[in-house]
Amino acid sequence: MTDPSAATPSHVGHSGPIDLHVGDVVGDRYELRRELGRGVRGLVFEAVHQFTGRSVALKVIAQDSPAGQRPELNARLAREARALASVTHPGVVEVLDGGFLQDGTPFVVMEMLEGRTLEGLIATRGKLTVEDTVAIALQLSAALDAAHAAGIVHRDVKPSNVLIVKDHARHEVIKLVDFGLARLEASKERLTGIGALIGTPAYMAPEQLLALEDIDNRSDIYALGVLMFECLSGRMPYEGTYPEVLLAVCSTDPPPKLATGPAGLGAIVLQAMAKERPDRFGWMKDFAKAIRAALPNAREHTELFGPRPSASGAPETASRVAEGARRKLPRAPYVTPVRILMGDLTIDGRTEDISTGGLLVVCHQVCPTDTRATLRFALPIEGTVASVDVQVRWHKAARQDDPRGLRALGVEFLDVPADVKASIARYVSLMGETAP
């Protein structure tokens, strides 16, 4: 792999950053098919290797990022590539390649993951079962333990950076993504030019909120504890803006009690969230060991999409019926940005799954139900942008008392062009999922 942390190539001659679009070819081999996501730290496309035909995720710094921040953003992307390349674990997204655009901007190529984000699942369901929460925690702890063994602290463990995908055996696998804020303990590098606050306040340990220099693996332990607290209770232990969370976390008040789940599990979660680092678990393996001791029969895999089919096609656990089987139309996980247009109201979000009948959308805006709208999104296979007449059938807030929190929308297609419907049907058939 080309080292994206190397000096900018001497042959670069462009006067400004390159603006990438679907259809462009990056690195003379990756054709961009559709946009997967856009954030402060980067832009992610689905791309296809022109020789092998393999679909990949290609991440690059957005062209419209502030000029003064681009050097540090480029350095962060290079650091993410190095972090991912140093960790080999099925629970960590795999880096495959990398290189430079003609203007010297680095790009990183990673395995393509089609699944549901944990954030989207929480938005839709409010909270998860104890069994699924424990399975998520055990898989994430193993992935983070591998990262810590390689000298890497993730520093941004949260539901939006957790994907649930299916492996070849049809098991649900938890994948940890976005190492853009990761810290390499062996490196002298300190990137703080875009603000000293590194992470998402609600999931940040006190030492991160205080922007201390000596961040270590116990910050990730704290974040995983908060993630479990949210999955089990449907709420956050500390909510609000950065100053509000900082004040609550650093106060002398005891942490909030976890009212859901076995008492032993609650005590484990609260120990992971201890305000003082010495009071937390020392290592991820200690965290996982405590969970297994409290719940010796805990399963390692989630059943968030329903029980895994057996060889006969029947669910492995007769006590549960896959919710997808109760749906009128089969659907498959599909993450891509969407825009909903309702007169003067514009709602930007992303889809979490798709069927020929509609989409599940997550966003941060209040959306009126039973209202017709126009929805724009990229088709799963071709990547072309489609505009479809829709109706928002239902609207659910992940936390009713948080007006700024994530929301889930059930969007029904009203008038779908034949070619769009056929494209969606092909994708759902290829993916073979019925995600609830």
Partners of 351 in beta bridges? 336, 361
CA-closest candidate to residue 60, choices 91, 84, 37, 82: 37
DSSP conformational letter for 354: E
Catalytic choice (97, 156, 178, 353): 156
Name the maximum alpha-carbon separation found in the chain: 64
Cα angle 397, 398, 403; round to 5: 55
Return d(Cα 229, Cα 364) in angstroms, integer: 21
216 is catalytic: no
Return d(Cα 137, Cα 372) in angstroms, integer: 40
Return d(Cα 21, Cα 33) in angstroms, integer: 9
End-to-end CA distance of the chain: 38
Q: Where are the beta strands (DSSP E) in 74-208?
A: 95-100, 106-111, 116-117, 152-153, 162-166, 172-176, 183-184
Partners of 31 in beta bridges? 25, 48
CB 265 within 8 A of CB 291: yes
CA-closest candidate to residue 322, choices 170, 122, 133: 170
Instruction: For the sheet with 162-166, list strands across it.
Output: 116-117, 162-166, 172-176
CA-closest candidate to residue 318, choices 307, 329, 328: 307
CB 222 within 8 A of CB 272: yes
Q: How many residues does the chain have?
A: 436
CB 126 within 8 A of CB 109: no
Active site residues: 156
